[in-house]
Structure 1
Amino acid sequence: MSREKVRSIIQSSIEVKRSIYDSEPLLKQITDLAALCLQSLKAGGKIIFAGNGGSFADSQHLAAEFISRLQFDRDPLASVALGTNSSSTTAIGNDYGYDQVFVRELKAIALPGDVFIPISTSGNSQNILATLETAKAKNLHVVGLTGESGGKLKSLVPCICVPSSRTERIQESHIMIGHIICGLVEDGYFLS
């Protein structure tokens, strides 16, 4: 493996992030989502994440940042990643089908005013799309994180669409966006 190949990969990641940096609409969407999360948490709500594969790992990672800490020691902020209880996930998958694994949990824990952030690089994950009816019925604020096309998710809810079609570039940017949101929320909740 050549160092030039490594540089090329890093440059590709930088270019996607530069596109986000240069996009006023994307920056507004990110700050608006942070404000929505802050508003929900201050009103006693919670931030709920869901995703599959790498996006599932990102969901857990971001929920942990809210519950534990990101920038400084502070009280926990209410957040959860759907699908982390493997007994529930396998029972729901077995009894109701895999497309219902997030729906059943969302029905059980979501309250009006909570923020639901579904993460899907393609925007076409069936178990993510299946949650949207429940989210609407529960009166949740929903903003998706997805890739350039946004897939079906973009046509159903507001989405922050990372300007790339490469899964790894999208996921790198999703975690960056999540860290920015958590940091803004921490500042607003504890320092304002």
Structure 2
Amino acid sequence: MDLIERISRQFQDNTRTTHDALEMLAAPIAGAVEVMTSSLLDNGKILVCGGSGSSGDARRFAAQLVNGFELERPSLAAFALSADASTLAPIAGDPSPAALFSRQILALGQPGDVLLTLSTRGDSSRIVDAIQAAQERDMRIIALTGIEGGTVAELLGPEDIHLCAPADRTARIQELHLLILHCLCDGIDCLLLGVED
């Protein structure tokens, strides 16, 4: 096995996938930046959640909005929906694990807020329930998925934004999701601070 060749193929695959994504996703990412910035300027908040492997990216994105990305600015209202012990502990009965995020959205979400979801396959039951709860709360939804978007793509309304990575490998999808999240952070900072370059 030639490890150098294998590593080179990973880089080449990443580059091809990223190039394909640029043409497809630049305009929808810009639209997502505008939706989130508008919500924040109108005293709304961004609620973020990710399916299993994407939960860390969801927390990181929320932290970058609260603590800053690359520029100094005031904190922004963002909250990563959690799967910690306190939210997992049933208060009455035995709530479905799929309702983990949706219960938090029903408690915290308001009209005008934005829900940002991350799911590589688009079929996570927790993400599906979260989107349905956000729709109940009249929130805008920005969904990051891969492949064809799965059930998530079917649930989105005309005002929602679907950022579907043009890849079917989990690694490529997650790499693109991270780049998209960085573009969102940068774009929000740009609009809020009036950065031109």
TM-score class, shorter: over 0.9
RMSD: 1.7
Partner of residue 163, structure 1: 166
Structure 1 residue 84: Cα displacement:
4.8
In 1: Cα distance, 2:57 partner to 2:82 partner: 12
> TM-score, structure 2 length as denominator?
0.91
Which structure carries more helix by proportion? Answer: 1
In 1: Cα distance, 2:130 partner to 2:22 partner: 30
Partner of residue 182, structure 1: 185
Q: Give SS of 1:48's match.
A: strand
Q: Match for 1:123: what amino acid?
A: G
Pairing 1:173–2:173 present: no
Q: Give SS of 1:32's match.
A: helix
Q: Match for 2:13: what amino acid?
A: S
In 2: Cα distance, 1:132 partner to 1:84 partner: 16
Structure 1 residue 186: Cα displacement:
0.8
Pairing 1:109–2:108 present: yes
Q: Give SS of 1:130's match.
A: helix
How far does the alpha carbon of each residue in 1:97-122 deviate from its partner, in whole angstroms, 9 at most, with x for none? Answer: 21010011111111110110111110
In 2: Cα distance, 1:90 partner to 1:5 partner: 44
Partner of residue 121, structure 1: 120
Identity %: 29
Partner of residue 95, structure 2: 96
Question: Structure 1 stretches (4+) deviating beyond 2 angstroms?
Answer: 89-92
How far does the alpha carbon of each residue in 1:105-153 deviate from its partner, in whole angstroms, 9 at most, with x for none? Answer: 1111111101101111101001111122211111100121000211011
In 1: Cα distance, 2:76 partner to 2:88 partner: 24
In 2: Cα distance, 1:89 partner to 1:44 partner: 29
In 1: Cα distance, 2:58 partner to 2:141 partner: 14
Q: Match for 1:20: what amino acid?
A: A
Q: Match for 2:101: what amino acid?
A: F
Contact 2:115 2:139 in 1 (8 A): yes
Partner of residue 141, structure 2: 142
Q: Give SS of 1:153's match.
A: helix
Partner of residue 78, structure 1: 77
> TM-score, structure 1 length as denominator?
0.93
Q: Give SS of 1:44's match.
A: coil
Contact 2:83 2:100 in 1 (8 A): no
Give the total of aligned pairs. 190
In 2: Cα distance, 1:106 partner to 1:89 partner: 14
Q: Match for 2:164: what amino acid?
A: C
Segments of 5+ residues of structure 1 without an aligned counterpart are none
Partner of residue 36, structure 2: 37
Structure 1 residue 190: Cα displacement:
2.0
In 2: Cα distance, 1:20 partner to 1:172 partner: 11
Partner of residue 131, structure 2: 132
Q: Give SS of 2:117's match.
A: strand
Q: Match for 1:74: what amino acid?
A: R
Q: Give SS of 1:164's match.
A: coil
In 2: Cα distance, 1:84 partner to 1:109 partner: 15
